[in-house]
Structure 1
């Protein structure tokens, strides 16, 4: 999972209030039950030291949200009288919690929420194409309708040189129209930083478009059987399935990389809190692996710099950093990973695990480069 979307949270100064609520609306008294759950959470946050402005901001957000459909969860993060994260979860939290502390409590939402992926979608035919962008929380929404400049697109049956020449003109029209669509698609892929490009339409048009794409777009292209005659819901379902396939394949590849690296002496995989913290301080972590169930009760020390985190306050001082607080290790690890551009994979909790390489302390990391001895 790309954690860059967390930077707006992790770069802000604390303290933070984090609330996970059961927001289900599947009974006659659902609204009253939610109000009671929020009242309990507010009282707990107040006891932990949350300020009135932050509590009022959370209360306003809870009151303003439309009722969920069926079972649902809700996570809210606020600081300084401002709500900085408000998301609906597909299921209620197993244990509704609220926490006031130096860092937001983000691990549960990362485990429960689908990975945020931006997809560019193109539906193409001989005359041009429709380009859509599907963001992490919405879509696909059409952003451009590309009409090719060449309109002679239908071949004519028959024989003779005149018919052959016309067929060649049709082929050239297809190529020109496809090139125009490919140029626009490449532009949207670059502008959005998309992780997947979904190509829909009839097979021949899809194949021509993929061949005309730039290297970056072609490398993330996935073809789906979908034409313009289907509904928007059908397209959204096809995009969601393609995105999930890409996420699953990426996750599997990362776990396989870790399993291979853990068995080699080149130092490109580490495990255990001490070694992973050292790798984060060196900004050497490519991907953080974390077992949500194994780390929740362990604490570490942090400083103002996200990467400067250690098991003991004196260890931070030894690096020239001043400790600013003791926090849950998962919160510190995620802040450090987001702040240094590392990715994240949750393991455990029913997810595919690591074959033959259980993680010490429930924490591991794939590295960008080996750490120097004694780091």
Structure 2
């Protein structure tokens, strides 16, 4: 997962409250259940010493976000200034998580967060398209009508004196596709869109993608989720988007696992595993992709400004830094990875790095 989406956490003041819970909306009393869940979450936040104003902000975030479709999880991360992250997860975490600590806890978002927080949905046919932007869980829809008619050749049409009607319908369809492609390009640039999902019958999808500028074609993902004006259900489209997100997530994990295993195997110095090696690589800005496994309750030691981090106070002192705080590794290491622009991957059983933490490196560090 690209870590840019988390960079706002670097400047947010602590302490942080991190909350993860089952936010499914698949029963008739889902809203009442959400109220009960929030009461339990609030009690845990208060027990851990969360500021009352921040707790109130989290409550508004929990209750006011647009309801998910079906089964879902929720992530809310707040700093001392208020809510920083508030989003749905692909599925609930295995258990409810409530933490109040010096640093934010983002591992569940790395594992289950929707990788397309900003996307454009295009439901297209040869007359135009319905466009919906999805930005920070806010939806905005519009319709593009290319104005080209007819797009279907009339049965029994004669060509004498009027030219070939097939050519006219083909040009009308192309005109409409160009209008849709132009608007898609405008929205992509204006809204910083990550992915373009395209829904429609097969020919409409393929014609639109072929009409898009070359720079956008690799961002376009066709979905088999019905056709325009066919009564396609938004929930079906949402499930198709989530399925595509899950597939892409597995592809990212596969790629990271292959790179990590290959570099460890060839002893190239371009992979690190274990708290000591990964802390060393982070200090030198060498981490390209951090691979997060089961870190459990491991801790690291940092200086006052968190400019240096090590597995223990002795190692930190050897680096000329004064130990000032002991932090949970599953909070500190992802945040340091964000600070050096590294990607974050939550691994599964295919790789098991030492101490539950590994990294693919940009270059071989001078120290390990």
Q: TM-score, normalised by structure 2?
A: 0.79
Q: How does 1:136-147 map to 2 (within 5 A)?
A: 137=137, 141-142=140-141, 144-147=142-145
SS in 2 for 1:145: strand
1:69 Cα deviation (Å)?
10
1:218 Cα deviation (Å)?
0.7
**Aligned mates of 2:69, 2:245 — CA distance in 1:** 24
Residue 183 of structure 1 aligns with which residue?
182
Residue 253 of structure 2 aligns with which residue?
251
Maintained 8 Å contact 1:307/1:337: no
**Aligned mates of 1:190, 1:302 — CA distance in 2:** 40
Per-residue CA distance 1:69-117 (angstroms, 9 max, x = gap): 9987665443436343445667665554543322022224443444454
Which deviates more, 63-72 or 227-236?
A: 63-72
Maintained 8 Å contact 1:14/1:103: yes
Q: How does 1:157-236 map to 2 (within 5 A)?
A: 157=156, 162=161, 164-225=163-224, 226-228=226-228, 229-233=230-234, 234-236=236-238
Out of 332, 356, 373, which is 2:366 matched to?
373
Q: Summarize the Cα distance change of 1:53–1:177 in structure 2 as closer, same or farther, 3 Å threshold.
A: closer
Residue 104 of structure 1 aligns with which residue?
104
Maintained 8 Å contact 1:41/1:97: no
Maintained 8 Å contact 1:288/1:343: yes
Per-residue CA distance 1:101-153 (angstroms, 9 max, x = gap): 220222244434444543322122222222222346465x42x3222143343
For structure 1, the residue ranges without an aligned partner over 5 or more in a row are none
Q: Summarize the Cα distance change of 1:178–1:19 in structure 2 as closer, same or farther, 3 Å threshold.
A: closer
Residue 264 of structure 1 aligns with which residue?
266
Q: Summarize the Cα distance change of 1:315–1:197 in structure 2 as closer, same or farther, 3 Å threshold.
A: same
Residue 358 of structure 2 aligns with which residue?
364
1:62 Cα deviation (Å)?
6.8
Out of 329, 350, 353, which is 1:353 matched to?
350
Maintained 8 Å contact 1:283/1:307: no
Which deviates more, 226-235 or 16-25?
A: 16-25
Residue 296 of structure 2 aligns with which residue?
296
CA RMSD across the alignment = 3.9
SS in 1 for 2:251: helix
1:173 Cα deviation (Å)?
2.7
Residue 280 of structure 1 aligns with which residue?
282
* Matched residues, number: 361
**Aligned mates of 2:68, 2:157 — CA distance in 1:** 61
Q: TM-score, normalised by structure 1?
A: 0.78
Per-residue CA distance 1:49-84 (angstroms, 9 max, x = gap): x55554565567678889999987665443436343
SS in 1 for 2:143: strand
**Aligned mates of 1:219, 1:194 — CA distance in 2:** 13
SS in 2 for 1:373: coil
Q: Summarize the Cα distance change of 1:3–1:270 in structure 2 as closer, same or farther, 3 Å threshold.
A: same
Residue 48 of structure 2 aligns with which residue?
45
Q: Summarize the Cα distance change of 1:193–1:278 in structure 2 as closer, same or farther, 3 Å threshold.
A: farther
SS in 2 for 1:263: helix
